[in-house]
């Protein structure tokens, strides 16, 4: 079955399913094949990580260490993985030879953020996903832009299925789930960081600002590039 058709059928099948049911089926779906959760261990990541741990703690979890993350994120990643009992965390770093060739001084982000994200996120993720038939993301329709029509399942730009169990979730649903299960928050959230990426390209957000306003502040860029549509990185528009 063509992947696009498979994604559409799965979206239809799970249109009324809760996120946990959809995740369980996705992890057992023989037509998709082996599935990994790709997690930034950011502000809202604990929700999907907890769900996956409850279903199967041996699920592969890919964590992209760009080598420019906040120290707090690295600590949170280690502590959260241990707390949830996740046993297959795959920490992926940029290719050393490519970093030496393209960003030896670590300043690429100051003049070409797209190239930096490609080097430190997109390319390492593609390597890490080799052999997987699908990958789980935490994207949501409330994040706006082209995500507003986000399906539960979609074909990505390669030969894999992207699975978005939280597509229909709201910020309140996220917060309620964290409270219900007493899940540890990323320490930077309490300090005003609503969306957390690499340290040089992430700032705090003011009250009333869009949660992703602190990512690449002052630039049109709002996506790192690991999500593509029609060969182009999806650019999320700020919510009004």
Angle value at C-alpha 191, between 188 and 192, nearest 5 degrees: 95
Question: Which one from 116, 117, 198, 224 is the annotated catalytic residue?
Answer: 224
Q: Find, among 205, 152, 220, 181, the residue nearest to 83 by Cα.
A: 181
How many angstroms separate the CA atoms of 139 and 167, rounded?
A: 6
Measured in whole angstroms, how far is the alpha carbon of residue 77 from the centre of its chain? 14
Catalytic-residue membership of 116: no
The strand pair at 89-92 and 228-229 is best described as unpaired
How many angstroms separate the CA atoms of 44 and 33, rounded?
A: 26
Q: Is the sign of the CA dihedral 110, 142, 156, 162 positive or negative?
A: positive
The strand pair at 232-233 and 228-229 is best described as antiparallel
Catalytic site residues? 224
């Amino acid at each position: 079955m063509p992947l696009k058709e498979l994604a559409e059928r799965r979206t239809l099948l799970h249109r009324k399913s809760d996120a946990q049911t959809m995740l369980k089926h996705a992890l057992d779906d023989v037509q998709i094949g082996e599935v990994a959760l790709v997690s930034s261990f950011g502000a809202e990541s604990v929700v999907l990580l907890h769900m996956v741990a409850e279903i199967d703690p041996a699920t592969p979890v890919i964590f992209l260490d760009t080598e420019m993350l906040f120290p707090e994120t690295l600590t949170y990643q280690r502590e959260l993985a241990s707390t949830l009992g996740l046993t297959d965390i795959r920490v992926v770093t940029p290719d050393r030879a490519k970093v030496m060739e393209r960003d030896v001084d670590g300043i690429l982000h100051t003049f070409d953020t797209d190239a930096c994200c490609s080097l430190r996120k997109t390319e390492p993720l593609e390597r890490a996903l080799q052999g997987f038939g699908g990958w789980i993301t935490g994207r949501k329709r409330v994040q706006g832009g082209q995500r507003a029509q986000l399906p539960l399942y979609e074909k990505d730009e390669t030969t894999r299925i992207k699975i978005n169990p939280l597509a229909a979730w709201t910020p309140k649903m996220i917060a309620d789930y964290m409270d219900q299960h007493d899940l540890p928050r990323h320490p930077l959230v309490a300090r005003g960081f609503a969306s957390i990426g690499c340290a040089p390209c992430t700032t705090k957000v003011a009250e009333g600002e869009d949660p992703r306003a602190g990512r690449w502040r002052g630039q049109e860029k709002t996506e790192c590039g690991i999500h593509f549509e029609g060969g182009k990185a999806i650019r999320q528009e700020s919510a009004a």
